[in-house]
Amino acid sequence: MNGRTNHIQTNEFQSPCSSSDEEVSDCFLDEVSLLEFLEGSEMAQRELVISTTSAEETSTQTGTTCNGPPDISNYTKMLATSRRTAPQTKPWYKRRNEEVLYLREKVKQLSAWLDHLKLEATLRSELDKEQITMTSTPELELWKSLAARQEKEREESEVENEKLRKILQHRVAQAKALQRAFKRRLREDSVRDAMNFSKRCRVDVQVWLPPTNSAVVFKDLSTGIDEEFANLDILFDSIKMYELPCPGRRNNTVNSRAKGKHVEFLDCYAFPFDFKQVDRTMWSLGSGGIEDVSATFVEKFPAGSYTKCKSVGFAFRSESLDVRVVMRKVGRRYALDDRTVFIWRTLIEPKHDSLTTMAFRETTCLVLRPGQDTHTGPTTIMQSHRQVAAGDGGRISSHTYKSFRGTDISTAVWNDSITKFNHYVEDTLLQQQKLK
The rounded distance, in Å, linking the Cα atoms of 384 and 364 is 7
How confident is the model over 200-229, as a mean pLDDT?
Answer: 77
Determine what percent of the chain is predicted with pLDDT higher than 90: 16
Q: Which region among 17-21, 130-134, 280-284, 344-348 has the lowest average model confidence (pLDDT)?
A: 17-21
Task: Give me the pLDDT at residue 24, please.
Answer: 44
Helices (H) and strands (E) in the chain, counts: 13, 8
Tell me the mean pLDDT in the region 113-135.
Answer: 78
Q: Give the single-character DSSP code of 376.
A: T
Quick check: 194 pLDDT over 80? no
Least trusted range by pLDDT, from 194-198, 271-275, 278-282, 353-357: 353-357
**Average pLDDT for residues 35-51, to the nearest whole number?**
54
Mean pLDDT, all residues of the chain = 75
Count, residues in the chain: 436
pLDDT (tens digit per residue) in 243-254: 888 888 998 888
Distance in angstroms (rounded) separating the CA atoms of residues 343 and 221: 11
Whether 64 has a pLDDT exceeding 50, the answer reads no
pLDDT at 74 over 90: no
The least confident of 44-53, 154-163, 284-293 is 44-53
Are residues 374 and 382 in contact, defined by beta-carbon separation less than 8 angstroms?
no
pLDDT at 9 > cutoff 50: no
In whole angstroms, what is the distance from residue 342 CA to residue 59 CA? 155
- In this predicted structure, what is the pLDDT of residue 159? 93
CATH 3.30.530.20 occupies which residues in the chain?
A: 213-435
Given this model, what pLDDT does residue 367 score?
A: 92
- CATH number for the domain whose boundaries are 213-435: 3.30.530.20
Rounded CA-CA distance 130/132 in Å is 5
Query: In the predicted model, is pLDDT for residue 382 greater than 80?
Result: yes
